[in-house]
Amino acid sequence: MANLITLDEYKTAKKITGFGEDGRLNAIITSVSQLVKTYCNNTLVDFYLINKIETFNIDFDSYIVSVDEVPLNQVVSVEERESISSSYTTLVNDSDYYADYETDSILRSNGSNGYKNFAKGPGAVRVTYKGGYNGCPADLELAVIDLVSYYHKDEHKQRQTLSGASIQNQGTSGQPGNVGFPDHIKRILDLYKNF
């Protein structure tokens, strides 16, 4: 899908004018974009303009489902089925369900001022929606640029040797749950992470 930054954005941020490393940088940008999306459990930009269809298994009484691609921008349809062999029924907005854009959730309504539980079962609820950002947010873009540099300069390797000289790169600080990103990058990524 879409990269979080372009080669030109990276080169502008890093004041790079030549073309010698473009192929390698493009490959790193693609890999880092996917790495960030995987870590955040959110594609961030891929479903801003195109529909995402998400199916929910409802195992217990619940009147709420939360979508993966946040922030929730537009609900196209919400469908529900009573059993795995039945067809989906399209629910009516502001009658059968309410889209809560603050919590990125769909709430099942009883049609007036209360809640009603969704039907239970595998694939009981199907939501078609648009979510994410129209381009990479500025703070996340900065983290992606730093992460591209981190891999481009091989800073992920703790010890490097060149002509007998040795460079000891600083590891991560040992923040709880740190997966090896530098702390200043991880702090930003965690702001966009779906847990």
Domain coordinates of the chain in residue numbers?
Answer: 7-45+135-191, 52-131
The pLDDT tens digits along the chain (195 residues) read 899 999 999 999 999 988 888 999 999 999 999 999 999 999 999 999 999 999 999 999 999 999 999 999 999 999 999 999 999 999 999 999 999 999 999 999 998 889 999 999 999 999 999 999 999 999 999 999 999 999 988 775 555 556 666 555 455 555 555 557 899 999 999 999 998
Q: Which residue has the tokens 């959110």?
A: 42
Residue 112: the pLDDT is 85
- Confidence (pLDDT) at 1: 82
Predicted pLDDT at 91: 97
Instruction: Give pLDDT, residue 158.
Output: 57
The answer to whether 108 touches 116, Cβ cutoff 8 Å, is: yes
The helix/strand/coil state of 26 is helix
| CA distance linking residue 90 with residue 87, whole number of Å | 10
pTM for this entry: 0.83
